Each structure stands twice: as C-alpha cells, then as structure tokens.
Amino acid sequence: MTRKMICLFSFVALLSFVELGLPVKPAEFETYPVKLSIINELTNDKASFTSSVTEGGVLFGVLNNLNGSNGFSYSYSVNNNFGLYLESVNGVAGSDNDHTYWELLTESEGRLTRLETGIGCYQPKKDEHIILRFTKWN
C-alpha cells in the first residue's frame, strides 16, 4: 500500500500560468462548485456536501472552503517528500495499525476512479464529484 500523496510538478505548473495563457490576476479566476462526499466503509456512514474552489485551485482548497461548516471538518499532515496528506475527516483518522486510510476518488457516471495525486495537487474540475472513502488496505 503506497500512500497516494505523490505530487509531481505542482510548483512548475503554477509558474507556467503565464506561458499557458491562463488568467494571471486572481479576479479573473472563476469560482465553481465541487461536490464532496464522504463514505466510511467500516461504519457505512455517508454524507454529501457542496463546496467550491477557484479555477485552477486544488482539492486542498475544496476541503478548506467547506471545513468547519455543515458538519464537515478535516485535518492534514505534511510529508517532507510527498506534500499534503489527508489525515482525518470528521475526527476519523487512518491508522497504520488498523490498515485504514482515506482514499481519494472521483466519480463520473457511477464509475469511481482513484486520484493519482494528493489533496495538495489534484485540481478538481467544475461540478466534479470527489469522494473521500475511509477504507482498509490489505
């Protein structure tokens, strides 16, 4: 089980906004909704929320914009090599002893796909449905 917090080239990506012809002034960025669901596979608890993020922003922003309201809170830790790691959601934290962790998924037309990058790097699209799933690894 490798923790999915690999974050490649995010700094480079930020620097290349200008080269890509993307808007450079914050005011020119749109803020759009992102749907966020949490599923606890161990307890079967489920909840859905609507958050938002600024265009080009990352999942970390989606979590921050929702945190502390509507019964959603989370915490993260920082790994010196991999960056931000989702540690707990609503007080439920992964544990190496129990082999539990929060898996990051995106849902489209009922199909779930694992995110290849962590909360500090993944850039959700407008209206994307992100799922945080508390699960076990073998």
Ligand X SMILES: *[C@@H]1O[C@H](CO)[C@@H](O)[C@H](O)[C@H]1NC(C)=O
16 versus 70: smaller Cβ distance to ligand X: 70
Give 42's DSSP letter: T
Residue nearest ligand X, CB atom distance: 68
CB nearer to ligand X: pick between 84 and 131 = 84
Nearest distance, CB of residue 63 and ligand X, angstroms:
7
Binding site for ligand X (CB under 6 A): 67-68, 73-76
Beta carbon of residue 108, minimum distance to ligand X (angstroms, whole number): 27
| Whole-Å CA distances, 55 to 30, 49, 119 | 5, 19, 15
Residue 34 contacts residue 53 (beta carbons within 8 Å)? yes
Q: How far is the CB of 76 from ligand X (least distance, A)?
A: 6
Residue closer to ligand X (CB basis): 75 or 95: 75
Q: How far apart are CA 32 and CA 14, in angstroms?
A: 19
Paired strand residues for 74: 89
Select 23 or 71, whichever has its Cβ closest to ligand X: 71
DSSP element (H, E) containing 101: strand 100-108
